[in-house]
Amino acid sequence: MKVNVAANILAANDSIARQNRDIFRGYGVLVINLMSSPGSGKTTILERTIDILQGQVSMGVIEGDVYTSRDAERIEKKGIPVVQINTVGGCHLNAGMVAGTFEKLPLGDLNVIVIENVGNLVCPAEYDLGEDMKVVVLSTAEGNDKPFKYPAMFRKSSAVIANKIDLLPYTDFEMTVFERDVQAINPEINIFPMSARDGKGIEVWCNWIKQMSEAKK
Amino acid sequence: MKVNVAANILAANDSIARQNRDIFRGYGVLVINLMSSPGSGKTTILERTIDILQGQVSMGVIEGDVYTSRDAERIEKKGIPVVQINTVGGCHLNAGMVAGTFEKLPLGDLNVIVIENVGNLVCPAEYDLGEDMKVVVLSTAEGNDKPFKYPAMFRKSSAVIANKIDLLPYTDFEMTVFERDVQAINPEINIFPMSARDGKGIEVWCNWIKQMSEAKK
């Protein structure tokens, strides 16, 4: 019985996600579902990305958090449209929560929307939000064993950002093992090594976003 | 209706958790539910703890992972009883999964059981497993803003390990802000700064476990 309930919840979610996707397509806006463990650096990556793409790509952000509006406040300082969703205990965003932000976002003016999901490497992978692609962030401090331990997230993502490469000398993270493992799970995945803190690797990532956005228009 | 389903699932879980707690009490074994984000260092902390308490405390481990038995294999090398639970997509352990390990563990011979939960800073906080106490691990690489963003985990825990203090010089983590915030959420919480990698802080933690175990006998 529990399985049926879960299936129904997912089916209802997928139906709303399809509506979201149609709406995004109508506006020609590229939508990225950004996911990771807590503290991998999603918001810092977003801040850097907004800085670099300013004047080239019109961005908006949907911030998902269990509690607090701290991340939205950080994004707001960049002067771009941002909406905070608090799940109040919920461990992932769902398509209905995203649909609830549409009247607060100038969809017609945007080229790219990034949805920063709740910090959680398990549950968000199961919920389609209507995005064009999922991107997963992993911090090198988390260790290179994570793809096989949390495969759904890596299997469903179009790209993975290996963030905090500035910490590589102080951790046991092996980039070659990570790349081999993540490609074993998902041979098509794009891998972006990055240090959002010092800016390394951010340009390559931003160029990719720009290309994807051009293709969506 | 969704709320009722969730309430029923939690009520069923709590009922099994009470049975687990009675069984643990009967054996006089101290049970710790160890929780954190993926990659905070739970398994390394366990390895170090087993090494130090060897000959003083008889330990057993229940390893929870979404997939793989990598963590259980690491613990097995220490020569102590370990059982792996794979949740196969599930984002947390529940009391029934823990009850299912009893016939595989020499409960009568153990003083302490550590249950290493699935790497997830949200969902495991909601599920009582029958433990005596919850302990949450946070890596300094995750940032000091996590207590307010994931308050349930910190509110329900008897102790927090601030792990990877060897990375403090290379991160923006502020220990005084972290301590202030976590105590604002939970004034009773014990805080253990630690580097499981180089062994700093592990003795204080192990002494605390020993004390708690003596009190439970």
Tokens 């009675």 locate to: B22
In which band, very low, low, confident or very high, does the pLDDT at B5 lie, cut at 50, 70 and 90?
A: low
**pLDDT at residue B9, rounded to an integer:** 84
Å between B162 CA and nearest CA of chain A: 14
Residues A41-62 have pLDDT tens digits of 999 999 999 999 999 999 999 9
Partner-chain residue, chosen from B2, B89, B123, that has the shortest CB–CB distance to A152? B89
Above 70 in pLDDT, residue A3?
no
The Cα–Cα gap between B212 and B39 comes to 26
| Residue-level pLDDT at B1 | 39
Tell whether B174 is within 8 A of chain A (Cβ).
Answer: no
Residue A79, min C-alpha distance to chain B (Å): 23
- The verdict on A60 touching B (C-beta cutoff 8 Å) is no
Q: Which residue has the tokens 């990556």?
A: A45
Q: Is pLDDT of B217 > 90?
A: no
User: Shortest CA distance to B83 belongs to which of B115, B110, B54, B111?
Assistant: B115
Which residue of chain A is at minimal alpha-carbon distance from B166? A170
- Dist. CA B150–CA A128, nearest whole Å: 23
What is the mean pLDDT of the segment spanning A111-116? 98
Task: Determine contact: B170 vs chain A, CB below 8 A.
Answer: yes
Contacts of B167 in chain A (CB under 8 A): 141, 167, 170-171
Determine the average pLDDT of the residues in B140-160. Answer: 97
- Decide if A127 contacts A45 (C-beta within 8 A): no
Q: pLDDT tens digits, residue range A80-106?
A: 999 999 999 999 999 999 999 999 999
Confidence of residue B100 (pLDDT cuts 50, 70, 90): very high
Q: What is the ipTM of this complex?
A: 0.91
Evaluate whether B120 touches A121 at the Cβ level (below 8 Å).
yes
pLDDT, averaged across chain B: 95
The CA-based diameter of chain B, rounded to the nearest angstrom, is: 52
Chain B residue closest in CA terms to A1: B5
Q: Is the pLDDT of residue A1 over 80?
A: no
Task: Tell whether the model's pLDDT for residue A2 goes beyond 60.
Answer: no
Question: What's the mean pLDDT in B116-136?
Answer: 97
Looking at the complex, does the CB of residue A131 fall below 8 Å from at least one CB of chain B?
no
Give the model's pLDDT for residue B216.
Answer: 87
Confidence (pLDDT) at A166: 98
Query: Shortest CB distance from A149 goes to which of B70, B123, B126?
Result: B70
Q: Are A119 and A34 in contact (CB under 8 A)?
A: no
Go through chain A and tell me how many residues it has: 217
Q: Which residues of chain B neighbour A2 with C-beta distances below 8 Å?
A: 9
Q: What is the rounded CA–CA span in Å between residue B175 and residue B168? A: 9
Instruction: Name the residue of chain A whose CA is nearest to B120's CA.
Output: A120
Tokens read off for B97:
């999964």
Whether A167 contacts chain B with CB within 8 A: yes
pLDDT in tens, B158-183: 999 999 999 999 999 999 999 999 99
Residue A111 pLDDT more than 70? yes
Dump pLDDT digits (tens) for A117-171: 999 999 999 999 999 999 999 999 999 999 999 999 999 999 999 999 999 999 9
